[in-house]
Structure 1
Amino acid sequence: MPDVVEHHGVPVLVCDADGASISTVQDALDHLIGAAFHAAEVVAVPAPRLDDRFFDLSTGFAGEILQKFANYRLRLVVVGDIGRHLAASSALPDLVREANRGQDIWFLPDLDALRERLAPDGTGRKAG
């Protein structure tokens, strides 16, 4: 069962590395968005929980998942080493770089990096 923790006033749903694989959009709705919807603003998902298709942008799977998070006004953080996926793709490094510049989707190495990113002096606070 995922835990909701608070980092700098932001509720974060921290998903367990041993949880269900996210291999369909419905999995994301059931196991991530549904679990976070009333309790968290940010969902931190261990990278291994995401099906490899998420990291192959040509499948469109990542786009579908990211759109669902946007529709529900939740932020997604993919936590962990995605080096093998980055090495296998020409487009993924660009997505990761652009996402990490924004406010709603981040690819971070660990939960400590997420905590830092959510700090008031970090770049992760939403305006307003």
Structure 2
Amino acid sequence: MGMKLKGTLTEQAYREELKASKFHLFNDMSKRRFLNIIRKTFPAMRTAHVLSWIPDQGEDIISFLVDTHSVIKIELDRYDDTVTPVVDVYPIEHWMKGLSKTFQIKILVALDMAKNDMYQSN
């Protein structure tokens, strides 16, 4: 990963957004299903950040950075708990490939925050 963080306004904006979405992920009842899936898939998970959120017709497709190593993409039916969620897991390097530069910056910011989270929770 050749890109480095430079402390730009874009990065600061991503940092705020990531902080807010992480707070919701861990504290909002409406996100509990996502959190449970992440915890089930990665029992050792120490932190997670929302990378992208695509609200679709009847489902939410959300990608999360798990710790600093993986991305988990979850498709969840918005109205029906009985529909099995679709879960895909990627190594972070694989996920970075072919992404736009701005989105790569967002991921670098998320990785930076995840490193701090993991360092602090030791």
- Identify whether the pair has TM-score above 0.5, normalized to the shorter chain: no
Which is greater in Rg?
Answer: 2
TM-score, with structure 2 as normaliser: 0.28
Structure with more of its chain in strand, by fraction: 2
